[in-house]
Amino acid sequence: MAAINLLVTGAVFSTQAGFSALRFANAAIAAGHSITQVFFYQDGVTQGSALSVPLGDEFDASSAWGELADKQGIELVICVSAGERRGVLGDAQAHEFAKAAHNLHSSFRVEGLGVLHDACLQADRTVTFK
């Protein structure tokens, strides 16, 4: 079975990228494949905001990704520079830039593009969702 790395670049409410990537991840796992990492880049970092408040019938991205990560042990990583530009900050970034609080969901972590590069080298394939 294949080791698959996911790259999500689409924003949480203006694209289907996160929802499609999550469905793909669940289907791949059900088929016996493994998801090595999900990297959120560009507008995709908005998937990791703990402060998003979707309507009752909308996709709750950060919670859904967090549930998958907790059950399957999958790394959820947002790009540090893309997150900073879009106001999705971990505790360290909030402190560094003297912001009142961080808003990164607890299941996500912040890293640079080198982590994506390493994950792509280790996986059998990388699938991108825009």
Give residue 81's identity as a one-letter amino acid code. Answer: S
Respond yes or no: is residue 79 known to be catalytic. yes
DSSP 2-14: -EEEEEE-S-TTT
Neighbours of 127 (CB within 10 A): 16
DSSP E strand boundaries for 9-129:
34-40, 75-79, 108-111, 125-129
User: Residue 37 contacts by C-beta under 8 Å, 6 or more apart in sequence?
Assistant: 5, 6, 74, 75, 76, 77, 115, 116, 119, 123
Instruction: Read off the tokens for 83.
Output: 């997150």
Which residues, including other chains, have CB under 8 Å from residue 56's CB and lie 6 or more apart? none
Annotated catalytic residue within 6, 12, 69, 79: 79
Active site residues: 79
